[in-house]
Amino acid sequence: MRKTPNRSRLPQHLLAPLLLLLLLAALPATLTANMKIHLIDVGQGHASLVEFPCGSLLIDTGGEKTRRWRSGANEDGAKKLSAYLLDFFDTRPHLGSRLDLLLLTHPHLDHTRSVKHVISQYRPHNLVDNGQTTGSGKAGQKALQRYASDTGTPYWYVKTTTFTSAGFTNRVIDPIDCSASGSEDPKISVLWGQTTDPGDWGSNHFDDENNHSIVLRVEWGNASVLFLGDLEEPAIEDLLEKYKTSPELLKADALQVSHHGSANGTTADLVAAVAPHVALIGAGQPCKRKGYSAWTHGHPRTGVIDDLVASTTSARATTSVRVADGVRTFRPYSLDKAIYSTGWDGHVVVELDSSGTLVSVSTDPQPQLCD
């Protein structure tokens, strides 16, 4: 009778770790163990993607749509956003080509232009906006609200008057939890949104959708990022007042600079309260354009960059950038603080680990197309 040959078996207590190692080896090299903030170059507009090991959220879907002054060639931020998201999900198959959350800060076209495309292609699990149905981007915001109603997708609109100085969150605003895979559970909360109390703003400021922008705070362990949308000075003053008893909620390692670096979108007090390692500006190239552009609005302004330089704590290699002293008026500026703009640097990706350490900043500078 033949004897069955002896076969060594892997002890049960070693099987699970081995399977985990094999799984990790099979995952794409782009998988991050940290939080990454992708400031996507959509020209004069805003779109930021926050990436975790187990999920992602997109803040705004804007983009420039202009023509170059001499050649007449089109600048199309919507195409740039589409291409970026396609590459992002193609290289991260474990995310299943779906966004966990799509959030619109406010209904202006440079923040909502690509809503319909993003919804149809990436079928967000959750949707958040400020509930408004006015503004140049109202068609995109209404499309998001209609999609939520038609499909039953969880939806929440943010009103500042419904929460305290602790901010606010729920399962719609914060749908991501990576703890099951051994990572952090990110904390996603809102600090500002649509307000029904004009206070002493005056009707012009109260009627401006910018001042009703959602302010979003995202934490990854001890790391944090603050998104300000297009908040302007009257709302910024009230934001600082609202959180004067909980100033830690405004402190952040990374800051999305409000309103593309406009003169009325940042104050020295705000930047000092945030004290970021790195500041991020979504703006177009400082080139003469036909249509809504960084050039026609003078973004980013010199005074804003001065304020950011005074309070941004990390450095970058000294570089010469172009900043605006006014509309259609730009000049060179020598920059050595970790302040980045899509108009200077193309796509910007900031990586923070859970201790709050700034791991890396990568850029994708493009030729200045000023023809």
Q: Examine residue 14 and state whether it is found in any structural domain, yes or no.
A: no
pLDDT at 371: 65
Taking only the tens place, the pLDDT of each residue in 347-370 is: 999 999 999 999 999 999 988 878
pLDDT band for position 14 (50/70/90)? low
**Which residue in this structure is represented by tokens 């039953």?**
152
Hey, what amino acid is at 181? S
The CATH number that applies at residue 179 is 3.60.15.10
Helix count (H) and strand count (E) of the chain?
A: 11, 19
Q: Examine residue 273 and state whether it is found in any structural domain, yes or no.
A: yes
| Across 228-242, average pLDDT | 97
* Cα atoms in the Cβ-side hemisphere of radius 13 Å centred on 128: 31
Residue 174 predicted with pLDDT over 60: yes
Q: What are the CA-CA distances from residue 62 to residues 65, 99, 116, 227, 313 (Å)?
A: 10, 16, 11, 15, 29
Q: Examine residue 304 and state whether it is found in any structural domain, yes or no.
A: yes
Q: Examine residue 268 and state whether it is found in any structural domain, yes or no.
A: yes
Q: What span, in angstroms and rounded, lies between the C-alpha atoms of 284 and 242?
A: 32
Taking only the tens place, the pLDDT of each residue in 289-321 is: 888 899 999 999 999 999 999 999 999 999 999
The torsion angles phi and psi of 150, rounded to 5 degrees, stand at -70, -35
Q: Examine residue 187 and state whether it is found in any structural domain, yes or no.
A: yes
Residue 189 predicted with pLDDT over 70: yes
Q: Examine residue 369 and state whether it is found in any structural domain, yes or no.
A: no
The torsion angles phi and psi of 231, rounded to 5 degrees, stand at -55, 140
pLDDT band for position 17 (50/70/90)? very low
Both structure tokens of 113: 């232009």
pLDDT at 105: 98
Taking a C-beta distance cutoff of 8 angstroms, is the pair 223, 188 a contact? Answer: no
**Omega within 30 of 0 (cis) for the link into 198:** no
| Residue 72 domain boundaries | 30-364
Q: How many CB atoms lie within 10 A of CB 121?
A: 15
Q: Examine residue 227 and state whether it is found in any structural domain, yes or no.
A: yes
pLDDT at 120: 97
pLDDT band for position 4 (50/70/90)? very low
Q: What span, in angstroms and rounded, lies between the C-alpha atoms of 227 and 265?
A: 12
| Across 114-140, average pLDDT | 97
30 or 292, greater pLDDT:
292
Kindly state the helix (H) or strand (E) to which residue 305 belongs, with its residue range.
helix 302-311
**Total tally of structural domains belonging to the chain:** 1
Taking only the tens place, the pLDDT of each residue in 93-121 is: 999 999 999 999 999 999 999 999 999 99
Q: What span, in angstroms and rounded, lies between the C-alpha atoms of 95 and 121?
A: 13
Using alpha carbons, select from 123, 249, 99, 89 the residue that is nearest to residue 175: 99
Residue 132: which residues within 8 A CB-CB, separation 6 or more?
106, 107, 138, 141, 194, 209, 212
**Which residue in this structure is represented by tokens 């330089």?**
309
In three-state form (DSSP H/G/I as H, E/B as E, the rest C), the secondary structure along 335-351 is EEECEEEHHHHEEEEEE
Both structure tokens of 267: 């104050």
Categorise residue 49: left if φ over 0, alpha if ψ from -120 to 50, beta otherwise: beta
pLDDT at 70: 73
Strands (E), the chain: 35-39, 48-52, 55-59, 65-68, 74-76, 101-103, 126-129, 155-157, 187-192, 215-220, 223-227, 254-256, 278-281, 289-290, 315-326, 329-337, 339-341, 347-352, 358-364
* Cα atoms in the Cβ-side hemisphere of radius 13 Å centred on 135: 29
| Across 31-46, average pLDDT | 93
Residue 140 predicted with pLDDT over 90: yes
Taking a C-beta distance cutoff of 8 angstroms, is the pair 50, 57 a contact? Answer: yes
28 or 92, greater pLDDT:
92
Q: Examine residue 20 and state whether it is found in any structural domain, yes or no.
A: no
